[in-house]
Amino acid sequence: MSWLFVAGIVLFLIGLMASIALHEVGHLVPAKIFGVRVTQYMVGFGPTMWSRRKGETEYGIKWIPFGGYIRMIGMLPPRPSDDPAKLRNVSTGPWQGMIDTAREVSLEEIRPGDENRVFYRKPWWQKVIIMFSGPAMNFVLAFILFAVVLMGFGVEVTKTVIGEVNQCVVPANAQARECTPADQRTPAAIAGLKAGDRIVAFQNKPVTKWEDAQRAIRAHGAGPAVVRIERDGRQMDVDITLIAQQVRSLDDPNKIETAGFLGLKPEIAVERQGIGAVAVHMWDLTSRTAESIVRLPEKMVGVWEAAFSGEERDRNGPIGILGAGRIGGEIASAPAPVESKLSAFVTLLAGFNLAIGLFNLIPLLPLDGGHIAGGLWEGLKRAYARVLRRPAPGYVDIAKALPLTYAMAFVMIVMAGLLMYADLVNPVRLFG
């Protein structure tokens, strides 16, 4: 294990902790603006490494760098039946007792004069803003980081210009090698196509992207065809005879299929993109990440099989912090230019921020989305009451969802443990 590999892991953890810290700042700032008393702002879990009190809030760092939190007073409302002048009923049911205990913990930090500074008494829209601002911070960070990559470093763009003409036919599953006299020549070499030619059309259909040309050639199959190219500023039609060849599928690189074959490689250039391309990239990746989260239970089955059956790990499947840290190490130790490493590293952090933001929006406690759902439900109930001219309903009692919260927390711990184990015994690797 090289020092660069270790440095990449450490650098990723620092970036992750910075992302978590800013996520909690997203909660902290609106909470203070709306007057909620925040007693703690912590990055990490477990024993406290360092802390300092400023005003009414303790700011600190904990030893386990896998999360963070802010502690707001009065997250859970008291029971409607609670009356300080009367003896309280004590429930013996396991769930009700658990809920009552959680209420007591939530209310024990409330001091005289804090009655209007508790979270549960804030208007529903302020609750939504406070809880949504954490994930929103991750989305903003992801957008900024993607902008750094696309607008600063640039991205590889596949042009419709021919970068290389393969001189001989090599099977898809064979390693690259020098051509021999016994090898079959490619249709592109026979037709006299050259590096620098730009493909304009295939079979009289305009081509604007290399992938369009690829798909058209493959779908055509073996047989004669016409490729229109631009060479030295002039367009010309070139007659070619495609052959059938085994190639890797464009939709699934692990699948081999028989399709039309010409024998070309595109020119690839690094180009800086505009802000519009960043927005499109962010939207596309957000859609795919959201789809992956919806399919998370299915994908966790694949993680289980990879961990205990030795099956190949899905590169597009979920990974934990250990797995992402390992990828950071691989990026840092890869034999590539520093600029390429930085671009890949920033992309990794951007993707992780996007995943953190979307995962926290799942409408289940203890995630931010559970509190957001509670606030929206309270706003809907109050709007309904106003329309019907009824008295305003009480606060939404999210404490009633605590049994589901504990079940969700248990599932999350099991998933985190499974990912950690899989990342150790069968990690996702970028190389090899």
User: What residues act catalytically?
Assistant: 24
Asked if 22 contacts 142 with a C-beta cutoff of 8 angstroms, the reply is no
| The length of the chain, given as a count of residues | 432
> Peptide bond preceding 318: is omega within 30 degrees of 0, i.e. cis?
no
Q: How far is CA 233 from the centre of its chain?
A: 44
Inter-CA distances, 417 with 152, 292, 345, Å: 37, 19, 25
**Cβ-based burial of 187 (10 A; exposed 0-12, middle 13-18, buried ≥19):** buried
Burial class from Cβ neighbours inside 10 Å (0-12, 13-18, 19+) for residue 257 reads middle
The two counts, helices (H) then strands (E), for the chain are: 11, 9
The two three-digit tokens of residue 142, written as one number? 């992801």
Query: Using an 8 Å Cβ cutoff, are 74 and 121 in contact?
Result: yes
Torsion region of 172: left, alpha or beta (phi above 0 gives left; psi -120 to 50 gives alpha): alpha
- Distance of alpha carbon 352 from alpha carbon 23, whole angstroms: 12
